[in-house]
Homo-oligomer: A and B are copies of this chain.
Amino acid sequence: MKVAFISIGDELLIGQTINTNAVWLGKEFSERGFVVEKVLTIKDKSAEIIKALDQVSKEVEVVIITGGLGPTKDDITKKVLTTYFNTTLELHTETLQRIEAFFESVGRPMLQVNIDQALLPVDATILKNEMGTAAGMLFERDNVITISLPGVPYEMKHLMTERVFPIIEKRFPVVSSYYETILTQGIGESFLADRMSDIEDELRAEGLELAYLPSPGMVRLRITGEKSAEGIDRVKFYVGQIEDRFPQYVFGRNEDELSAVVGQLLKQEGATVTTVESCTGGRIASEIVKIAGASEYFNGGFITYSNELKMRLVHVQEETLLKYGAVSQQTVEEMALGGRRVLESDYAIAVSGIAGPDGGSDEKPVGTVWISVAGPNEVLTKRFLFGNDRSRTIEKSVLTALNLLRCMISKINFEKSN
């Protein structure tokens, strides 16, 4: 079974908004055994919408259209679809009542534009939206199902989950491919490929597929096989092979988040962690707190951006700062040890670096970052070179620091990779 997504909106084409809807839809449909055939991102114009519908209707069984159903005056999808599917708009009483109830529940007055949203095509199946005012619509013609949804991500997800997938799953029972993704931190794509070329050759010889998916500080490896008992076993076998070879780099699978993996390890140990951040400015702490239930192992931390606060809050010695500078092994170690002591934590992560664009020197170029993790039995301190881009340096520092902590808790030997 094939599916295509049509994302409508100039804001997507001119790069003002990221198409996260296509990301979510891609994942959900793949998991249900659909082949995601293509994503068309097009203009908010009648002719373009019609052209896209004509095209994909020949290629797929299901078309999902997102965007263009909001209450404001620049949204036209509903009108175009009503014409395209030869039907007319009529007041949909249930939807009107729902919109009225919605506005009452949030204690806001209802506007005329919201009332107009209850005008819906007669020949469509109306998909009740409990998260907002724009209903979804399902049209059917020549064995192709076309579904129109609002572009607001949480409304779209609600409608897909509660209304659309129950229909889809009944019509198209799952048969298809199975994949798992291995998540690695701390090694580049080429090096990983080189160090596992034997495994790659073997799995390809067995008919599996392997894709390398790099992002700042991470490479994901996706292994795909057939969705059969045997196929799944084969995928899992190679996942295990790769995990065994790279314990320092592989931190999880599929949807795992590094901060959740670390949180789980801390919970198992009954241990706590604190953070003392300079150039990452709280990003590590916020990554830890992103995980619900983090209060079990995280009480809080410090952002010591200035030298003065490094001394005052976590007792870095003035002498150390004068002699070695803020971005040095000695300073970052004292930050970690001080933070651990002051907040009585089992582990402490400290980071000090030059995120740039200014502040670099020959000896300490922009992108130089020192990371230290202090634990009950040891202190691990490493220097990294993360390059010229400020936000990527911060991002890589966050992931690297969390991975260092993971290795320490799991007693995995940590060596800097090429």
Contact = CB atoms under 8 A, between A and B. Distances in A.
Interface of A: 10-20, 22-28, 30, 36-43, 48, 70-74, 107-109, 111, 113-114, 152, 154, 181, 189-191, 193-194, 200, 204, 209-215, 220, 222, 275, 277, 279-286, 288-290, 292-295, 298-306, 308-309, 313, 343, 355-358, 389-392, 394, 418
Contacts of A74: 209-212
A172 to B, nearest CB: 17
Instruction: Give the number of copies in the complex.
Output: 2
Nearest to A357: B292
Nearest to A284: B282
Contacts of A109: 418
30 contacts: A11-B213, A13-B38, A14-B26, A14-B27, A15-B23, A16-B27, A16-B213, A16-B220, A17-B215, A18-B18, A18-B20, A38-B42, A38-B48, A39-B40, A39-B41, A70-B189, A72-B189, A73-B210, A107-B418, A113-B194, A114-B190, A154-B389, A275-B282, A280-B289, A282-B285, A282-B301, A283-B283, A283-B289, A289-B305, A300-B313
Nearest to A18: B23
A22 B36 contact: no
Contacts of A355: 292
A294 B305 contact: yes
A16 B222 contact: yes
Given A293-B358, A300-B313, 17 more contacts: A14-B36, A15-B27, A17-B215, A18-B18, A22-B41, A40-B40, A40-B41, A41-B41, A111-B190, A114-B190, A277-B282, A289-B303, A299-B308, A299-B309, A300-B305, A300-B306, A302-B302
Contacts of A200: 73
Given A41-B38, A289-B305, A300-B309, A10 B72 contact: no
A216 to B, nearest CB: 9
A222 B17 CA distance: 12
Contacts of A190: 71-72, 111, 113-114
A138 to B, nearest CB: 22
A286 B393 CA distance: 13
Contact of A193 (B19, B37, B71, B204): B71
B290 A280 contact: no
Nearest to A74: B211
A300 B302 contact: yes
A299 B302 CA distance: 11
